[in-house]
Amino acid sequence: MLFPHLIKQLLSGGGSMAIGRGSMACARGLKGLHQRVRERMMASSTVTPGDHGKAIVALPDGYTPSADEEFMNPMQLEYFRQRLLDWKKQILAEAEGTLAVLQSEPLREPDMNDRASSETDWSIELRTRDRQRKLISKIDAALRRIDEGEYGYCEVTGEPISLGRLEARPIATMTLEAQERHERQEKVSRDD
């Protein structure tokens, strides 16, 4: 059974989600939860659905970018656009699935240990969905960079980001070297 404050934090985009008291009121808070979370996820997305839906170039079946091609040519851009759109669609579908299960499962566990276990499981699941909700804004930013012709280039050095890195993390904004420097600087500033 989920606590109302966990649901409220998810809907408000709050930070940490801790287990607390008041789980009996949870059933009242579930009405309309699916729609509110979907609206919240779409609201956190700065790109409206359909903005990036039109293909610029038709991709051949099984196409993957190659280092032999011109970097960020129209086919590569369309390939990454489709990867990002598919990723976003998958995240939204998983969130809807989580909410459907949440609404269909019984909210009252007779045993206190079972209840605690269920609440912990749902807390972890909601944290995962919250991280994915934040990821949508990064996906939208990458789609904007594609539209603006900046995708695939490091925001720090201006150098091309390797195709391997973009395959692994299509939302990457820095080359591996620039990212490592950034993380070292962050670590040094945290240690001070």
CB 36 within 8 A of CB 13: no
Q: How far apart are CA 88 and CA 127, in angstroms?
A: 17
What integer pLDDT is reported at residue 84 of this predicted model?
Answer: 98
Q: What's the start-to-end Cα distance of the chain, in Å?
A: 42
Q: Which option is the CATH number for 4-151: 3.10.450, 1.10.10, 2.30.30, 1.20.120? A: 1.20.120
Q: How far apart are CA 63 and CA 52, in angstroms?
A: 20
Q: What are phi and psi of 160, to 5 degrees?
A: -65, 140
Tokens 């979907």 — which residue?
38
Give the 3-state secondary structure of residue 171: coil
Amino acid 121 reads D
List Cα–Cα distances, 173 to 18, 48, 71, 130, 162, in angstroms: 32, 22, 15, 22, 11
What integer pLDDT is reported at residue 74 of this predicted model?
Answer: 95
What integer pLDDT is reported at residue 37 of this predicted model?
Answer: 40
Tokens 């610029």 — which residue?
56
Q: How far apart are CA 145 and CA 171, in angstroms?
A: 10
Beta-ladder partners of 153: 160
What integer pLDDT is reported at residue 29 of this predicted model?
Answer: 38
CB 37 within 8 A of CB 99: yes
Q: How many CB atoms lie within 10 A of CB 68?
A: 5
Q: Write down the domain spans for the chain.
A: 4-151, 154-192
pTM: 0.65
Tokens 């990867």 — which residue?
83
The pLDDT tens digits along the chain (192 residues) read 343 344 444 444 444 333 333 333 333 333 343 344 445 444 444 444 444 555 568 899 999 999 999 999 999 999 999 999 999 999 999 888 877 777 776 656 777 887 788 788 878 888 888 888 889 999 999 999 999 999 999 999 999 999 999 999 999 999 999 999 999 999 888 876
